[in-house]
Chain A
Amino acid sequence: MPPLDLGQVEVIKGVASALYGASALGGVINLVSRRPRETERELLVNATTLGGTDVTAFLAQAPASGWSWTLLGGYHGQVRQDRDDDGWTDVAGFNRGLVRLRVFFDNGRGGTALATGGVMLEDREGGTLPGASAPDGRPFAETLVTRHADGGFVGRWLTPGGHIISARGSIMRQSQDRRFGADRERGTRVTWFGEASLAGVRRRHTWVVGAAFQQDRYDARDLPQFDYVFSAPAAFAQDEIALSPALSLAASARVDVHSEYGTLASPRVSLLARPKPGWTLRVSAGTGAFTPTPFTEETDETGLSRLLPLSGLEAEHARGASADVTYTHRPFELTGTVFGSIVNDPTQLEIVGADTVALVNASEATRTWGTELVARYRREGFLAMLTHAWTRSTELDVDEGVRREVPLTPRHTASLNLVWEGEVSGRFGIETYSIGRQRLEDDPYRDTSRPHVLVGFLVERRLGRVRLFLNAENVFDVRQTRWDPLVRPAQRPDGRWTVDAWAPLDGRVFNGGVRVAF
């Protein structure tokens, strides 16, 4: 989703299954659309030094007798790049077009509705360049053609009794046609979803009860052994209690009856305390479940052709807790978080043959804990943000039978962002990111990644209704292929020709363009 269309992004970290069902074990990212307040027409054109192009148009119509709408259209293109001249694509080439319409209604008396529909088409290519070949002497071109369409609505009404009835529903259809060398995999996924809930306020309680239904189906044209239809009706209830002006408690529970994985319960409890002005304390704990499908991080790259049909799998169960403290004293804001989670029966890909893998539940849990620190200083025309995250995550390596660090999880990451902004003139920002050492899985060139630092800057100049911008990413051209090749000497049993990406593959990129408001 292009940021032009976005009003706000809400991130719930940690077990959020109680709110969003089985797929939200790690958290939920909610993209809230931009609401039209006045009639606007915006055009953004961007080009990059790596052969990328973006053209996005956004139209919004101001509310008239409660009705308003927004329309977004965009084209995004990227020329395929091979930065280290090894014949293998480092930056995939693609062409993408999308359109999204949103219609809003607000009757001014608490009743609101939103309907949306969108279409996205994309053609993408990677793998070996035409004429080049993989280490086994044969070309291995990868292509992905995606066709996506969706529609949905969200509605809310106020009853005469002072309750709120909400309803939402959506349907999504995505077809993909993938080629991995000589293999071809075509499949279509359809997800449809419906939810209705009732909310009310009674003395110190704000309660919500509701029911939902979700069906997720996959039709694999070339590998019918992976077809599935998962249906999950669910019921949920939530209560927020204002125990005192300085203390609130929220409790929620959800029960899903999954057609494949049975009954799954997800309770969650959160506590908010504001002991003194400027101080906020939150503690949260919950459990959740994840229902496995053939689509994992690994099969994303390799496809399903080397995967055995799923059998004997159980749902993953997780328990998580977090605590955070925020201290605000204008212009400073400081937040510290501590979190931990245990995922039981986590699914992993196990090598079972020379060119066969299977999805299994590991016999030991994946344990993760960490801390996050964010310090913000915000003043008129200046913002500074310093962050640090420490994460330690371990899991069972199902192939070796030993406990190991979860690959591609840096122990330490830190960042520093500085932004200067003039009311009229524009803005200038510098950002630096430090990514610590990461354990790597089955990488013939190294066991752990190199820690590295990325630096970028952004300049924006405003001239009336026109905004010119120039953005530099990764100014020091930190690129994984400067140290190691991306291509393995031999294909893995799961079909992978490349090693994991632990550092940027594109290197230094400049992009610039213009944004005009009509």
Chain B
Amino acid sequence: MVTILARLLLALSLSAQTAQPAGTLVVEVRAGDRAVAGATVRAGEQTGKTDATGRTTLTLAPGAYDVSVEADRYLPTVVRLTVVPGAPVHVTVEMQPLEEEIFVTATRTETRLQDQPLRVEVIDREEIEEKALMTPGSIAMLLGETTGLRVQTTAPSLGAANVRIQGLRGHYSQLVADGLPLYGAQATRSACCRCRRSIWGR
């Protein structure tokens, strides 16, 4: 008699545990004022991908979780939260864009490009890679494509050229390498003296 009661009680308590309602987690992934679609959200054993509105819903057993969010071009983010049974838990995850900081050395303070009071235009490695294939032997094409820089042929016969900046003649422009006048004091002349083709800047 006692044993049957004991087994019934045990069975009841077991079913009570498995019948415990699962929690719902709604994750919204944003970057500033934009929704991030296609982000991978992981919590415990569950994985979801955000839709066009930046949302994904995961069904999880109640408990504490480290929710990790990963998306292309953004830094991975981890958020810690607790899932409770019953009402869904909403969380908005803010993503930081993955951007290589560009440090400027030309102004001697090595500050970030966007913190620079003096306007410095940077042609980064990506753009250099692109332009490297246009004139692999020289930087003339690269320079010519930065607005305000104009590569001007000075000696049509020998193909010498220099760089005009903001409308001023070429001898006013100085070319330095890592801050050093390796090409001489009036450098653009000799360094650009390599226009296999007359390179026309804008």
Query: Which A residues form the contact surface with B (CB < 8 A)?
Result: 1-4, 6-14, 16, 19-20, 23-34, 44, 46, 48, 50, 52, 54, 56, 74, 76, 78, 88-92, 94, 96, 114, 116, 118, 122, 124-127, 142, 144, 146, 148, 150, 152, 154, 166, 168-170, 172, 174, 189, 191, 193, 197, 199, 206, 208, 214, 216, 238, 240, 248-250, 268, 270-272, 280, 282, 284, 290, 293, 295-298, 300-301, 322, 324, 330, 337, 339, 341, 343, 368, 370, 372-374, 380, 387-389, 391-393, 406, 408-409, 413-415, 417, 419, 427, 429, 431, 433-435, 454, 456, 458, 460, 469, 471, 473-474, 486, 497-501, 503-506, 509, 511, 513, 515
Query: Which B residues form the contact surface with A (CB < 8 A)?
Result: 32, 34, 72-73, 97, 102, 104-109, 111, 114-125, 128, 130-139, 142-143, 145-150, 152-160, 162-186, 188-191, 193-194, 196-198, 200-202
- Docked-complex contact B119 and A301, CB < 8 angstroms: no
- Docked-complex contact A208 and B168, CB < 8 angstroms: no
Report if A56-B109 is in contact (Cβ < 8 Å); known contacts: A116-B182, A301-B160.
no
Known A3-B139, A268-B118; further 12 A-B contacts with Cβ < 8 A = A10-B105, A11-B121, A29-B175, A30-B176, A31-B177, A76-B138, A168-B179, A170-B182, A174-B184, A300-B154, A301-B154, A322-B166
- Docked-complex contact B109 and A199, CB < 8 angstroms: yes
Report if A417-B145 is in contact (Cβ < 8 Å); known contacts: A387-B202, A504-B197.
yes
- Docked-complex contact A295 and B171, CB < 8 angstroms: yes
- Docked-complex contact A96 and B194, CB < 8 angstroms: yes
- Docked-complex contact B156 and A505, CB < 8 angstroms: yes
Would you mind naming 10 contact pairs between A and B with Cβ atoms under 8 Å apart? Answer: A23-B172, A31-B177, A54-B136, A94-B159, A126-B155, A142-B157, A170-B181, A193-B181, A206-B111, A506-B197
- Docked-complex contact B173 and A154, CB < 8 angstroms: no
**Chain A neighbourhood of B153, CB < 8 A:** 501, 505
The one of B155, B173, B178 that contacts A27, using a Cβ cutoff of 8 Å: B173
**Chain A neighbourhood of B32, CB < 8 A:** 330
**Chain B neighbourhood of A208, CB < 8 A:** 108-109
Residue of A90, A389, A414, A433 with highest tally of chain B CB at under 10 A: A389
**Chain B neighbourhood of A501, CB < 8 A:** 153, 156, 198
Bound CA–CA A415/B194 (angstroms): 23
The one of A26, A240, A393, A497 that contacts B111, using a Cβ cutoff of 8 Å: A240
- Docked-complex contact A30 and B191, CB < 8 angstroms: no
A243 to chain B, nearest CB (A): 10
- Docked-complex contact B121 and A172, CB < 8 angstroms: no
- Docked-complex contact B136 and A2, CB < 8 angstroms: yes
Residue of A2, A31, A48, A125 with highest tally of chain B CB at under 10 A: A31
**Chain B neighbourhood of A142, CB < 8 A:** 157-158
- Docked-complex contact A23 and B125, CB < 8 angstroms: no
Which 8 pairs show the lowest CB-CB distances between chains A and B?
Answer: A26-B172, A301-B155, A3-B132, A126-B157, A27-B165, A272-B117, A26-B168, A250-B117
Residue of A26, A146, A172, A389 with highest tally of chain B CB at under 10 A: A26
Bound CA–CA A50/B178 (angstroms): 33
- Docked-complex contact A296 and B184, CB < 8 angstroms: no
- Docked-complex contact A11 and B202, CB < 8 angstroms: no
- Docked-complex contact A504 and B142, CB < 8 angstroms: no
Residue of A191, A214, A248, A497 with highest tally of chain B CB at under 10 A: A191
- Docked-complex contact B109 and A504, CB < 8 angstroms: no
Q: Please count the residue pairs between chain A and chain B whose beta carbons lie under 8 angstroms apart in the complex.
A: 371
A18 to chain B, nearest CB (A): 9
- Docked-complex contact A154 and B180, CB < 8 angstroms: yes
**Chain B neighbourhood of A44, CB < 8 A:** 132, 136
Bound CA–CA A280/B110 (angstroms): 19
**Chain A neighbourhood of B117, CB < 8 A:** 240, 248-250, 270-272, 282, 284
- Docked-complex contact A76 and B134, CB < 8 angstroms: no
Interface of A is mostly: strand
- Docked-complex contact B178 and A30, CB < 8 angstroms: yes
- Docked-complex contact B143 and A9, CB < 8 angstroms: yes
Bound CA–CA A238/B120 (angstroms): 16
- Docked-complex contact B108 and A297, CB < 8 angstroms: no
The one of A9, A52, A427 that contacts B142, using a Cβ cutoff of 8 Å: A9
**Chain A neighbourhood of B108, CB < 8 A:** 19, 166, 197, 199, 208, 238
Report if A415-B173 is in contact (Cβ < 8 Å); known contacts: A174-B190, A370-B167.
no
- Docked-complex contact B136 and A32, CB < 8 angstroms: no
- Docked-complex contact B200 and A433, CB < 8 angstroms: yes
Bound CA–CA A91/B158 (angstroms): 7
Nearest residue, chain B, Cβ from A419 = B130
The one of A152, A297, A300 that contacts B182, using a Cβ cutoff of 8 Å: A152
Bound CA–CA A142/B193 (angstroms): 14
**Chain B neighbourhood of A214, CB < 8 A:** 181, 185
Bound CA–CA A208/B135 (angstroms): 38
A359 to chain B, nearest CB (A): 11
- Docked-complex contact B202 and A413, CB < 8 angstroms: yes
- Docked-complex contact B167 and A172, CB < 8 angstroms: no
- Docked-complex contact A380 and B154, CB < 8 angstroms: no
- Docked-complex contact B105 and A11, CB < 8 angstroms: no
**Chain A neighbourhood of B198, CB < 8 A:** 501, 503-506
B151 to chain A, nearest CB (A): 11
B184 to chain A, nearest CB (A): 5
**Chain B neighbourhood of A427, CB < 8 A:** 130
